[in-house]
Amino acid sequence: MNEAIGRPRSILLASDLDARSDRALDRAVQLARAWGARLVVANVVEENAVEAHAMLVRDPPAWYRGSDPVHEAEKLLQADADARGVDVDLRVVRGGRVADRVLEVAREEDCDLIVTGVARQEILGRLMLGSTVDQLARRSPVPVLVVHRRMHGPYQRMVVASDWSESSKFAFRAAAGLFPDAAIGVLHGYDVPMAGLADTGRDALLAAAHEAALAEGQAFIAACEPPGGASRVGLVVERLDPALLLRLYASQFPVDLAVVSSHGRSAVFDVLLGHVAQRLVEESPVDTLIVRDPHARAR
């Protein structure tokens, strides 16, 4: 994919056919129509499901015409597409690690965006990233859109969680290119080391840190060269954990999309997805676009 991300020509929906996948399908359909993009729907049938089905129907009724999990998946996916009045290209593949096969299909179909849904652990009240979503977020060379909420129309307001890195800058530009009509803001959560140990001058220390973060944020936004100019981009910097900042901000303001870079300034980002980025994705209460730095080494 080119470093300058434009509107996708092909979108891949990774569906596991559960109820929450309907949210991802509805969003993928909306985006495909808005962009005039081709929509590919992929499902991976695990090999043990095929074997289990064969064992189950060893002595079928006389009226049973035969089927298998691959055909069943194709039938269900096609019915979902027909119900929404959209043409899709179906890719139901058998066996292998799900993330590997999804990325393989995305590459073969030349897709510019992967859309997927997630499961939520209601007892804990937070997102539990499944292994497939986690692997896609870590390894996909194209942006991954993780859909949390029901689709009520185009994205209206998005926020970019930034650490001022070049990777965050790329993510900002990518999101602005994908959704040019959405209002955009930048969120930055930071810490002030040793602030809790300061006996005197603590207030001055915190004020200076806040002013420095504001200045860095303003420079970051200007460097991103946003459409319409830097003055049209909101900036929120707080001495707060980045994931908590996103949750609190989204609870108070009409945010419907968060943007996260999967590779950033901190050394921790050099390890797989990175602790901060992973927590942002896990704890985001809204749809989340994960944009991989094209300069990051594939893993």
Residue 145, domain extent: 1-150
Final residue of a structural domain among 150, 174, 189: 150
Same domain as 73, residue 140: yes
Same domain as 204, residue 177: yes
Phi (first) and psi of residue 173, to 5 degrees: -65, -40
Q: How far is CA 228 from CA 63, 184, 231, 233, in A?
A: 64, 11, 8, 9
Same domain as 40, residue 173: no
Same domain as 167, residue 228: yes
Same domain as 142, residue 15: yes
Domain count for the chain: 2
For 49, counting Cβ atoms within 10 Å of its Cβ (0-12 exposed, 13-18 middle, 19+ buried), the class is middle
**Residue 74: its pLDDT value, please?**
83
Phi (first) and psi of residue 211, to 5 degrees: -65, -40
**Residue 144: its pLDDT value, please?**
94
CB 249 within 8 A of CB 187: yes
Same domain as 93, residue 143: yes
**Residue 33: its pLDDT value, please?**
95
Closest C-alpha to 143, from 22, 260, 269: 260
Spell out, as residue ranges, where the chain has pLDDT lower than 70. 1-5, 17-20, 47-57, 65-67, 119-130, 194-200, 263-274, 296-299
CATH number at residue 46: 3.40.50.620
Same domain as 73, residue 179: no
CB 163 within 8 A of CB 266: yes
Question: Which residues, in sequence order, are CB contacts of 278 under 8 Å at separation 6+?
Answer: 129, 134, 137, 272
Beta partners for residue 237, in sequence order:
188
Question: What tokens were used for 185?
Answer: 């803001």
Same domain as 7, residue 125: yes
Tell me the C-alpha distance between 155 and 142, whole Å.
19
Same domain as 116, residue 166: no
Same domain as 172, residue 96: no
Segment 62-97, tens digit of pLDDT: 777 666 777 888 888 888 888 888 999 999 888 788
Final residue of a structural domain among 150, 183, 204: 150
**Residue 38: its pLDDT value, please?**
95
Question: What tokens were used for 165?
Answer: 């890195």
How much of the chain is helix, strand and coil, in % rounded to 5?
40, 20, 35
**Residue 196: its pLDDT value, please?**
59
Tell me the C-alpha distance between 199 and 8, whole Å.
54
Final residue of a structural domain among 150, 185, 209: 150
Same domain as 210, residue 73: no
Same domain as 210, residue 184: yes
Look up the pTM and report it: 0.84
